[in-house]
């Protein structure tokens, strides 16, 4: 008999094992170093900027919350598994199926008993880490002094405490549910829970553990139900945000009953853990479910259907009034000053004499149109660019406040072409140069802007100081990163501007500020090589011991990193302040938890023609404050935060979270204060709310008989809101013109008349005194237009402009030639006892070179319109030959308009009621117009017959006629 010995088990090759361990260690080290490099680069950036405390706060809070979340989940789950296993019945008779399960599970038992808690712990840790801001705000909460009308709690409870308690209870529910599931699973696997022969048997130990966990879970649910009572004040209902009659008389009492019932059922589970009877808690649970259906669904439905609906206005009025009052306070519109406005629609000579100061500042240079013009005039090289649209600002020039359209000359790296090497894009083309500013109310003879600041090197009224710094290293279009700086005496390599002395082709410079982390040492170069995945940073000889790396250069990005709790305005703008170009950025604190305040979609509210796809972090909000004004120095990127609204409770709490990061308003210079303005996005949100909440009483709110909306932009073909606009203007109740922002309202609804119902302004001038805001800054004024005398809205006026025979003939002819006609912003101005509409008309080539020039100005008042070369001429024609107004373009040397004729007389040339002169009575213009029309008909006939020779001849005549029309209208 022979025997066969079992083959020897293969022993692990020690070399392979060592190699595997080595590779694993190396991989771990590489991953760890990449993680370290990212964190270290962040620290270098924050430390250089002086905001390292912000980063340490975030890191500390996230790590602390991760540890708390990890332990709060992993420890209870581990204890639940251990108890269920250790208290298992040792000699229990198991089924064959359970025996099989245990054979499979037993080899992995130790791993599972540790792995399951770790698995859930890591998930819970990351979830808790993401909620650190909620916890820190609660820990640093402040009282607001405002009590809600339902529970009489401070509104700070809803802003800070309620979100925190909801987060804690949600976490506790998840933890207890996981403990309950793993306990039941382990108990079943090891025989503590046996199911068979229509019988459920539970061991004493398992019964106690399951009953206690279930009782704790129900206690947490009871607390959640109790907390849900307060959430009714921030939940969106059918008409309002906040508790309604049904909530007050059914939902809130019902939640109170259910919370108490859940607590009682939890006690029954605790009793079961002692006496071992499941009947009472199970019956209690069933009754709890039935009660929730009755008091949570059935009773509120019946109350609403049979009591509220037939008497809605009477019963809901107190709650509507709560919503009105809270909404006005939460959006800062409770200080609205309203006045009735009986608008006149008739015109007469001298009607605008009392408004001469306002008309002198009317902006005719549309910042959304003239960006190509500025680019063509001021670009100098293809690698420069300007923002589109341009920004608006105001400056003191020769002792007078001047509204301007502004932009900085930034780099456009996409236009470098073959010169776009790493060396050029990183070390040579590092910054833009200079500010460009043009008067908003003036034009040259050929329709171009009148600049007050321009050129390379920079010259103009804004740069008269000796310390002016024109270089723009930090802007909205800066390169991703640049490496700058060099020891004193080394030849500069950065391109400053494409013009030099003594015939040189260019001027170079070296950055001398503190704008970014230093990368002069090999270790820092390695860190940033990894961050930007560029070996050139590591091996370039052009980098020296004084080199700095500039990145995260967009002013919005910089402010967001150092103040992550802010929502930033979508329209940062540059200003020359104390000899430096700085970006001014408005920051908001937002919440969706203010009691009884109406929720609005932030994205929808701020979306309009100038910003069709706004950037928002929190969309649905019901509380907003412009709490912070931030500046970013365009040269060295320095970020300064000012606590603009130090009464804001959210800002007060965040100042505790991030201490010493904000400066008081008292430290703002007078020059900076003179360029601060009321923020655009805040005004848009406020006008969205005032469409409904301009009323003061619940009856009007309920009936919606006076609901308004913002009109669509009449210059656009798609449905997009008309943007508000800044102007220096005097409202009827003001003593002098002030820099303000304006918007209009028309009746609400989808198919309503386009007539004006309201006109809203806000004083946007913060003054020019160091450390002190103007008393009138932020004052909201509403003109409620009397409906007895209909005033055409923007849509009606634009339609009138477009359909006027002389206007449409001129524009259609231009469109048929090699030109395009661009309607500028339609401005509405409360002057002359009524509402004046002003719209500049620009003409540009339809070719590749875009150079919009202002050629005409349309004005309308009541049912009358005029269409002239200048605003001054158009107003004089509109108001019977002498409007009494003085405009910014009054002295522009353009072709004078002929004497006006009476409008509305079809027997006279141009007397069709649309315009009183200019295009209608000028003989040369009419002749050119007829030539163009004939050429158009001849060209179309030739095209139909396929006669290309005749087509070319007619097209040439059309082009010549169009050129003559443009010359007659603007030269």
Query: Looking at residue 154, what is its pLDDT?
Result: 96
Residue 476 has phi, psi (to 5 degrees) of -75, -20
pLDDT in tens, 167-206: 999 999 999 999 999 998 888 877 777 776 666 778 888 8
- Give bridge partners of residue 338 from the DSSP assignment: 782
Identify each DSSP E strand in 769-835 by its residue range. Answer: 780-785, 819-823, 827-829
Which token pair is 200?
């459920």
Closest CA to 969 of 816, 802, 801, 821: 821
Which token pair is 704?
């919606």
Residue 724 has phi, psi (to 5 degrees) of -70, 170
792 DSSP 8-state letter: B
- Give bridge partners of residue 573 from the DSSP assignment: 584
**Mean pLDDT, rounded, of the chain:** 87
CA pair distance 349, 351, nearest whole angstrom:
5
Runs of H (alpha helix) within 705-789:
none
Query: Virtual CA dihedral for 680, 685, 688, 692, nearest 10 degrees?
Result: -130
Check pLDDT > 90 for residue 147: yes
- Give bridge partners of residue 827 from the DSSP assignment: 838
Query: Looking at residue 893, what is its pLDDT?
Result: 58
Query: Looking at residue 590, what is its pLDDT?
Result: 96
Rg (CA), the chain: 36
pLDDT in tens, 627-644: 999 999 999 999 999 999
Return the half-sphere exposure (C-beta side, CA atoms, 13 A cut-off) of residue 25. Answer: 6
Residue 575 has phi, psi (to 5 degrees) of -145, 150
Cβ neighbour number for residue 288 with a 10 Å cutoff = 18
Check pLDDT > 60 for residue 164: yes
Average pLDDT estimate for 328-357: 92
Check pLDDT > 80 for residue 324: yes
| Between 585 and 789, the higher pLDDT residue | 585
Helices and strands, counts by H and E, the chain: 29, 34
Check pLDDT > 80 for residue 929: no
Least confident of 465-474, 486-495, 593-602, 891-900: 891-900
Check pLDDT > 50 for residue 1: no
Check pLDDT > 80 for residue 368: yes
Cβ neighbour number for residue 452 with a 10 Å cutoff = 18
Task: Specify the 3-state DSSP secondary structure of 443.
Answer: coil
Task: Specify the 3-state DSSP secondary structure of 213.
Answer: helix
Residue 511 has phi, psi (to 5 degrees) of -65, 130
Answer for the pair 320, 239: CB distance below 8 angstroms, yes or no.
yes
Phi-psi category of residue 402: left, alpha or beta, with phi > 0 → left and psi -120 to 50 → alpha: beta
Please tell me whether the peptide bond between 389 and the residue prior to it is cis, using omega within 30 degrees of 0: yes
How sure is the predictor about 599, in pLDDT bands with cuts at 50, 70 and 90?
very high
State the residue for tokens 């940062």: 572
Query: Looking at residue 895, what is its pLDDT?
Result: 46
418 DSSP 8-state letter: G
CA 888 to each of CA 318, 400, 439, 477: distance values in angstroms, whole numbers, following the listed order = 52, 13, 9, 33
Answer for the pair 791, 756: CB distance below 8 angstroms, yes or no.
yes
CA pair distance 589, 641, nearest whole angstrom:
14
CA pair distance 340, 323, nearest whole angstrom:
25
Query: Looking at residue 131, what is its pLDDT?
Result: 95
CA pair distance 790, 785, nearest whole angstrom:
9
Query: Looking at residue 512, what is its pLDDT?
Result: 93
H or E element that contains 568:
strand 567-568
Closest CA to 368 of 699, 647, 724: 724
Task: Provide the CA 344 distance to its chain's centre, in angstroms.
Answer: 38
State the residue for tokens 């002169």: 917
Phi-psi category of residue 380: left, alpha or beta, with phi > 0 → left and psi -120 to 50 → alpha: left
Greatest CA separation found in the chain?
135
Task: Provide the CA 883 distance to its chain's centre, in angstroms.
Answer: 41
Closest CA to 170 of 247, 311, 73, 264: 73
Answer for the pair 137, 110: CB distance below 8 angstroms, yes or no.
no
CA pair distance 461, 437, nearest whole angstrom:
9
CA pair distance 441, 395, nearest whole angstrom:
13
Average pLDDT estimate for 570-599: 95
How sure is the predictor about 809, in pLDDT bands with cuts at 50, 70 and 90?
confident
Which token pair is 521?
């040492």
CA pair distance 711, 724, nearest whole angstrom:
11
Answer for the pair 635, 603: CB distance below 8 angstroms, yes or no.
no
Answer for the pair 946, 845: CB distance below 8 angstroms, yes or no.
no
Query: Looking at residue 679, what is its pLDDT?
Result: 96
Angle formed at CA 723 by CA 850 and CA 885, multiple of 5 degrees: 80
CA pair distance 172, 178, nearest whole angstrom:
10
- In total, the chain counts a number of residues equal to 971
How sure is the predictor about 899, in pLDDT bands with cuts at 50, 70 and 90?
very low
Task: Specify the 3-state DSSP secondary structure of 256.
Answer: helix
Check pLDDT > 90 for residue 744: yes
Least confident of 472-486, 508-522, 688-702, 786-800: 786-800
Check pLDDT > 60 for residue 495: yes
849 DSSP 8-state letter: S
| Between 197 and 226, the higher pLDDT residue | 226
Q: Identify the sign of the CA torsion 133, 138, 139, 140.
A: positive
Check pLDDT > 60 for residue 11: no
pTM (two decimals):
0.88
CA pair distance 746, 919, nearest whole angstrom:
32
Check pLDDT > 60 for residue 572: yes
């Amino acid at each position: 008999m022979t025997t066969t010995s079992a083959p020897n088990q293969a022993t692990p090759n020690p070399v392979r094992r060592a190699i595997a361990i080595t590779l694993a260690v190396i991989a771990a080290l590489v991953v760890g170093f990449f993680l370290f490099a990212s964190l270290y680069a962040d620290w270098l950036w924050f430390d250089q900027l002086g905001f390292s405390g912000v980063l340490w706060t975030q890191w500390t809070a996230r790590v602390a919350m991760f540890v708390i979340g990890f332990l709060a989940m992993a420890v209870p789950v581990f204890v639940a598994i251990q108890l269920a296993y250790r208290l298992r019945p040792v000699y229990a008779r198991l089924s064959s199926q359970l025996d099989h399960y245990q054979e499979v599970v037993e080899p992995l038992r130790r791993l599972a008993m540790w792995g399951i808690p770790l698995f859930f712990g890591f998930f819970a840790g990351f979830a808790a880490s993401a909620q650190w801001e909620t916890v820190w705000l609660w820990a640093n909460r402040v009282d607001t002094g405002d009590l809600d009308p339902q529970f009489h709690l401070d509104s700070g409870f809803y802003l800070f405490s309620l979100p925190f308690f909801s987060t804690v209870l949600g976490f506790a529910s998840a933890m207890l549910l996981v403990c309950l599931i793993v306990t039941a699973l382990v108990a079943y696997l090891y025989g503590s829970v046996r199911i068979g022969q229509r019988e459920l048997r539970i061991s004493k130990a398992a019964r106690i553990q399951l009953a206690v966990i279930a009782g704790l879970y129900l206690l947490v649910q009871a607390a959640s139900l109790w907390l849900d009572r307060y959430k009714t004040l921030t939940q969106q209902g059918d008409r309002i945000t906040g508790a309604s009659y049904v909530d007050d008389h059914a939902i809130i009492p019902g939640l109170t009953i259910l919370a108490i019932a859940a607590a009682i059922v939890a006690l029954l589970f605790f009793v079961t853990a002692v006496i071992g009877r499941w009947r009472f808690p199970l019956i209690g649970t069933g009754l709890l479910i039935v009660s929730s259906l009755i008091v949570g669904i059935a009773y509120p439905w019946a109350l609403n259907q049979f009591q509220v609906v037939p008497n809605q206005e009477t019963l809901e009025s107190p709650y509507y009034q709560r919503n009105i009052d809270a909404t006005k306070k939460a959006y800062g519109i409770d200080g609205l000053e309203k006045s009735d406005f009986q608008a006149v629609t008739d015109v007469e000579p001298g009607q605008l004499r009392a408004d001469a100061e306002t008309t002198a500042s009317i902006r005719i240079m549309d910042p959304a149109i003239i960006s190509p013009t500025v680019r063509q005039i001021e670009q100098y090289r293809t690698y420069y660019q300007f923002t589109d649209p341009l920004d608006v600002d105001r400056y003191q020039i020769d002792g007078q406040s001047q509204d301007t359209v502004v932009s900085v000359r930034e780099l456009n790296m996409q236009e470098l072409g073959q010169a776009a090497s790493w060396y050029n894009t990183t070390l040579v083309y590092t910054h833009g140069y200079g500010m460009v500013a043009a008067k908003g109310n003036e034009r040259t003879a050929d329709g171009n802007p009148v600049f007050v600041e321009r050129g390379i090197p920079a010259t103009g009224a804004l740069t008269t100081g000796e310390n002016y710094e024109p270089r723009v290293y930090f802007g909205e279009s800066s390169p991703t990163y640049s490496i700058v700086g060099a020891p004193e005496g080394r030849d500069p390599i950065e391109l400053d501007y494409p013009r030099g002395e003594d015939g040189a082709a260019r001027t170079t410079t070296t950055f001398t500020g503190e704008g970014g982390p230093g990368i002069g040492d090999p270790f820092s170069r390695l860190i940033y090589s990894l961050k930007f995945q560029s070996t050139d940073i590591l091996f370039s000889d052009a980098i020296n011991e004084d080199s700095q790396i500039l990145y995260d250069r967009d002013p919005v990005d910089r402010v967001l990193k150092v103040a992550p709790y802010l929502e930033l305005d979508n329209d940062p703008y540059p200003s020359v302040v104390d000899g430096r170009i700085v970006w001014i950025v408005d920051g908001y604190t937002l919440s969706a938890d203010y009691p009884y305040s109406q929720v609005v979609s932030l994205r929808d509210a701020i979306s309009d023609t100038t910003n069709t796809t706004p950037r928002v972090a929190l969309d649905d909000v019901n509380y907003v404050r412009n709490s912070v004004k931030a500046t970013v120095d365009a040269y060295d990127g320095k970020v300064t935060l000012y606590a603009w609204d130090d009464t804001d409770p959210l800002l007060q709490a965040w100042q505790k979270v991030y201490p010493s990061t904000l400066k008081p308003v008292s430290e703002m210079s007078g020059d900076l204060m003179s360029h601060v303005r009321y923020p655009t996005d805040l005004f848009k949100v406020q006008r969205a709310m005032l469409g409904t909440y301009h009323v003061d009483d619940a009856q009007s709110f309920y009936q919606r008989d006076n609901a308004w909306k913002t009109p669509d932009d009449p210059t656009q073909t798609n449905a997009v809101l008309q943007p508000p606009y800044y102007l220096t203007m005097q409202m009827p109740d003001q003593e002098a013109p002030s820099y303000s922002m304006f918007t209009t309202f028309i009746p609400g609804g989808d198919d309503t008349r386009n007539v004006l119902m309201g006109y809203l302004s806000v004083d946007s001038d913060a003054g020019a005194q160091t450390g002190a805001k103007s008393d009138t800054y932020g004052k909201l004024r509403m003109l409620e237009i009397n409906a007895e005398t209909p005033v055409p809205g923007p849509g009606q006026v634009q339609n009138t402009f477009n359909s006027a025979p002389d206007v449409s003939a001129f524009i259609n002819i231009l469109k048929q030639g090699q030109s395009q006609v661009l309607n500028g912003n339609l401005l509405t101005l409360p002057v002359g006892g009524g509402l004046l509409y002003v719209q500049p008309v620009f003409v540009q080539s339809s070719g590749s070179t875009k150079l919009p020039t202002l050629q005409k100005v349309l004005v309308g008042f009541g049912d009358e319109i005029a269409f002239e070369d200048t605003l001054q001429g158009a107003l004089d024609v509109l108001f019977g030959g002498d409007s009494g107004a003085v405009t910014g373009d009054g002295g522009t040397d353009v072709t004078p308009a002929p004497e006006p004729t009476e409008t509305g007389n079809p027997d006279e040339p141009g007397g069709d009621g649309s315009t009183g002169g200019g295009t209608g009575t000028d003989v040369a213009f009419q002749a050119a117009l007829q030539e163009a029309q004939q050429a158009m008909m001849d060209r179309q006939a030739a095209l139909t017959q396929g006669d290309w020779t005749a087509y070319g001849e007619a097209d040439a005549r059309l082009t010549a006629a169009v050129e003559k029309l443009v010359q007659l209208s603007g030269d």
